[in-house]
Amino acid sequence: MKHSLFLHTQKTAGTSVQLMARWAYGNDNVCSHADFVDLGVEGCAKLPFVSGHFGIEFAKPLMRGRYCFTFLRDPIERLISFYTFCAAQDSDKFPIYAAARNNSMEDFFRLGLPHGDLSHTLWNHQVWQLAYGNGAYLVGKRLGITSFEPGDLLEAGKQNLSLFDYVGLVETFDEDIAEIFSHLGKPDEIIRKSNVSPKKSNYEDLSPATRQLLLDLTELDRALYSHVRELRAKSAQGLSDLRSS
**Which residue ranges make up each domain of the chain?**
4-244
Burial (CB count <10 Å: 0-12, 13-18, 19+), residue 198? exposed
What are the C-alpha distances in Å from 31 to residues 7, 53, 213?
12, 11, 34
**pLDDT at residue 94 above 60?**
yes
How sure is the predictor about 235, in pLDDT bands with cuts at 50, 70 and 90?
confident
Instruction: Average the pLDDT over 28-49 and give the result.
Output: 95
How sure is the predictor about 194, in pLDDT bands with cuts at 50, 70 and 90?
low
Choose the weakest-confidence range: 16-25, 32-41, 61-70, 196-205: 196-205
Q: Give the chain's mean pLDDT.
A: 90
**pLDDT at residue 7 above 70?**
yes
pLDDT at 187 (0 to 100)? 82
How sure is the predictor about 192, in pLDDT bands with cuts at 50, 70 and 90?
confident
- Residue 109 amino acid letter: F
52 neighbors 32 (Cβ within 8 angstroms): yes
How sure is the predictor about 204, in pLDDT bands with cuts at 50, 70 and 90?
very high
pLDDT at 237 (0 to 100)? 54
CA atoms of 147 and 153, how far apart (whole Å): 10
**pLDDT at residue 243 above 60?**
no
Residues facing 142 on adjacent strands: 137
pLDDT at 136 (0 to 100)? 54
**pLDDT at residue 135 above 80?**
no
pLDDT at 12 (0 to 100)? 95
How sure is the predictor about 186, in pLDDT bands with cuts at 50, 70 and 90?
confident
pLDDT at 196 (0 to 100)? 60
Which option is the CATH number for 4-244: 1.10.260, 3.40.50, 2.60.40, 3.30.1360? Answer: 3.40.50
Instruction: Average the pLDDT over 165-189 and give the result.
Output: 93
How sure is the predictor about 239, in pLDDT bands with cuts at 50, 70 and 90?
low
**Closest by CA position to 112, among listed 98, 127, 99, 131:** 99
pLDDT at 218 (0 to 100)? 98
**pLDDT at residue 174 above 80?**
yes
CA atoms of 166 and 133, how far apart (whole Å): 19
pLDDT at 244 (0 to 100)? 46
Residues facing 52 on adjacent strands: 7
Looking at per-residue pLDDT, the higher value among 241 and 95 belongs to: 95
